[in-house]
């Protein structure tokens, strides 16, 4: 782990690599958390986290899902939704340093949402929303919407078990 000084320099000078967890329930709804920290503080966002140096993706996926969802998920049981740039005008260090993430969202099917033990250190609240609600809701950060086309295609083409045009909620 980097100390704060080194992490600040990293954020200032390089992109960060992160995994987003697109958790889909049996009703075709996506889990969102309201962020406590910059960037995107106060916005609704899918859970996720940074990959650490020398951490294999499978290990990072398992760690991030445990930290963000209170339950470990296996990397090989998720579907990749592509790679996306996320640019923010601020960072955890304030408005003087911007943040750039290269982000890899992964679809996770969660059939029993009762098993999730959602932590409150990164998100102050959670809710489940349909894809249609997500597209229309201005409180959902735009970076949590960039993968919706890929999500619909993945559901349609990979037999994920949910109608991709579900608008329940």
According to the model, what pLDDT value does residue 160 have? Answer: 67
Give the pLDDT of residue 162: 53
91 DSSP β-pair partners: 94
β strands within the chain, DSSP E:
16-24, 29-35, 44-45, 48-50, 79-80, 84-88, 99-109, 123-130
**CA 127 – CA 7 distance, rounded (Å):** 31
Quick count: other Cβ atoms within 10 Å of Cβ 48?
A: 22
Measured CA distances, 106 to 10, 48, 166 (Å): 25, 10, 19
What pLDDT, on a 0 to 100 scale, did the predictor assign at position 126? Answer: 96
Sign, CA dihedral 72-75-81-85, equals positive
- The pLDDT assigned to 133 comes to 96
**87 exposed, middle or buried (CB, 10 Å; 0-12, 13-18, 19+)?**
exposed
Distance of CA 52 to the CA centre of its chain: 16
pLDDT at residue number 137: 97
What pLDDT, on the 0 to 100 scale, is given for residue 166? 37
φ/ψ of residue 165, rounded to 5? -105, 15
pLDDT of residue 163: 45
Cα gap 106→61, rounded to integer Å = 9
CA distances 95 to 38, 39, 41, 88, 127, Å, are 9, 9, 12, 10, 28
Per-residue pLDDT tens digits of the chain, which is 169 residues long: 789 999 999 999 999 999 999 999 989 999 999 999 999 999 999 999 999 999 999 999 999 999 999 999 999 989 999 999 999 999 999 999 999 999 999 999 987 666 788 988 888 999 999 999 999 999 999 999 999 999 999 988 876 655 444 333 3
């Amino acid at each position: 782990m980097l100390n704060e000084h080194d992490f600040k320099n990293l954020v200032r000078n390089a992109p960060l690599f992160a995994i987003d967890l697109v958790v889909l329930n049996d009703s075709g709804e996506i889990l969102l958390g309201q962020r406590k920290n910059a960037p995107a503080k106060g916005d609704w966002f899918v859970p996720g986290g940074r990959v650490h140096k020398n951490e294999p993706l499978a290990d990072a996926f398992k760690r991030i899902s445990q930290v963000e969802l209170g339950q470990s998920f296996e990397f090989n049981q998720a579907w990749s939704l592509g790679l996306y740039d996320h640019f923010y005008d601020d960072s955890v260090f304030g408005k003087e340093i911007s943040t750039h993430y290269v982000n890899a969202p992964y679809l996770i099917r969660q059939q029993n949402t009762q098993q999730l033990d959602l932590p409150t250190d990164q998100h102050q609240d959670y809710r489940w929303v349909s894809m249609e609600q997500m597209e229309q809701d201005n409180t959902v950060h735009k970076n949590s919407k960039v993968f919706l086309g890929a999500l619909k295609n993945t559901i349609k083409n990979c037999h994920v078990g949910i109608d991709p045009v579900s608008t329940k909620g």
